[in-house]
Amino acid sequence: MVGGTLRDIRSEIRALACSDGDYIVVCGRTGTEPGAVIGRQFPDRHSAGEAAELVSDYRAVLRRYDPGVPYHEPLVNELSERPMQPLEIDSGDRHARYSAFCHDISGALFEALAETGHRVVESAAMETYLTLTEVVEDHDNFCLTMLWSLMSELDVRLSQAEQTTVIETAASFFAPRTTPNPVGVTLRTLQSVGFIDGFSMRSVCETDERRAGADPPETAGETWELTVGQYALAERTGRIPTLPVAVCLRRCAPEFGVRFIGGEALSDGRWRLRVQLVPGGDSAGLVSVEAIENRWLNDTGASQQL
């Protein structure tokens, strides 16, 4: 299956990498690191060159199923000469980043399903995806269709504990990006690749939680209320997909449990989610959470990509 092949390629890349190398691999078009080498450094130019070839192989595997997988043109750069990303991004680069993000998450999820022994779910997700590609008219949306297919099958076929294991495994394939503000970094990442259009966030204190009628946290942790616009994976089916947010958050805060508590649809294509970060705690709701029933949930006029 595709997950095993991708996992083997990533293992080869990991074998070439080191913790304090002088070289990195970047996309020649956007200056960003392709998903298979995000956060990876290499000891010499030769090792980095081999990793760049493996990045092309990784993308070629995904391209068998989605011809829209971007050609990254991976290049070797010295870490001290990391290319600056442009202040202005044209529409072609914007879609390339969006597509690459979807494929990076999807590839990691296929790997994680293979790693955790969920071959049946992996096969079902690919079958769902291939079926949907026959009816999705815009081929530029194949990347999101692949991600949605994985999310859907994880949601219906795995228990919450199994979902958590798969998502945390997928996040572990990316080099950790430890930051004092994991929620803010995650939202900025999603906005930079066009997965959301604008966001706000606020910390919710325990007093607010009690006033809202919520149960107090079982362990010490910080709760955040996130509001995002035009969330690419949003559905109006009673549940809000959290999967891509969860993978990014787990990468930025690997030492925290990530608990998505719930959410709701708002006006103007916006969505609100609550997430709690618990030091050393368990994670929950990493694939989807139930949405509060309100008049916006079934708003058919809201923009959707699927």
Instruction: State pLDDT tens for residues 125-176.
Output: 999 999 999 999 999 999 999 999 999 999 999 999 999 999 999 999 988 8
Q: Given this model, what pLDDT does residue 42 score? A: 97
- pLDDT surpassing 70 at residue 217: no
Which one has a higher pLDDT value, 297 or 229? Answer: 229
Mean pLDDT, the chain, whole residue set = 88
pLDDT of 101-116, one tens digit each? 999 999 999 999 999 9
Q: How far apart are CA 224 and CA 46, in angstroms?
A: 44
- pLDDT surpassing 70 at residue 72: no
Q: Given this model, what pLDDT does residue 219 score? A: 46
- pLDDT surpassing 50 at residue 305: no
Query: Out of 34-43, 89-98, 110-119, which region has the weakest mean confidence (pLDDT)?
Result: 89-98
- pLDDT surpassing 50 at residue 207: no
Count the neighbouring beta carbons within 10 Å of the beta carbon of residue 213: 6
Q: What is the mean pLDDT of residues 76-89?
A: 68
Q: Given this model, what pLDDT does residue 295 score? A: 82
8, 86, 184, 195 from 190: Cα distances, Å: 27, 17, 10, 5
Q: How far apart are CA 267 and CA 93, in angstroms?
A: 29
How far from chain centre, in Å, is Cα 250? Answer: 10
Q: What is the mean pLDDT of residues 200-224?
A: 63
- Give the closest residue to 104 by CA, choosing from 62, 42, 164: 62
How many residues does the structure list for the chain? Answer: 306
Q: Given this model, what pLDDT does residue 31 score? A: 79
Residues 6+ apart with CB under 8 A from 144: 102, 232, 233, 305, 306
CATH number of the 179-290 domain: 3.30.980
- pLDDT surpassing 70 at residue 82: no
Q: What is the mean pLDDT of residues 272-290?
A: 95
Q: Given this model, what pLDDT does residue 134 score? A: 95
Q: Given this model, what pLDDT does residue 91 score? A: 56
**Which residues are paired to 77 by β-bridges?**
24
Q: Among residues of the chain, what percentage have pLDDT more than 90?
A: 71
End-to-end distance of the chain based on CA atoms, in angstroms? 26
Residues 6+ apart with CB under 8 A from 182: 249, 252, 253, 256, 277
Q: Biggest alpha carbon distance in the chain?
A: 59
pLDDT of 230-263, one tens digit each? 999 987 678 899 999 999 999 999 999 999 998 9
pTM given for the model: 0.88
Q: What is the mean pLDDT of residues 47-53?
A: 97
For the chain, give every domain's residue range.
2-79+90-171, 179-290
Q: What is the mean pLDDT of residues 196-225?
A: 69
Q: Given this model, what pLDDT does residue 97 score? A: 87
Q: What is the mean pLDDT of residues 182-197?
A: 95
Q: Given this model, what pLDDT does residue 3 score? A: 93
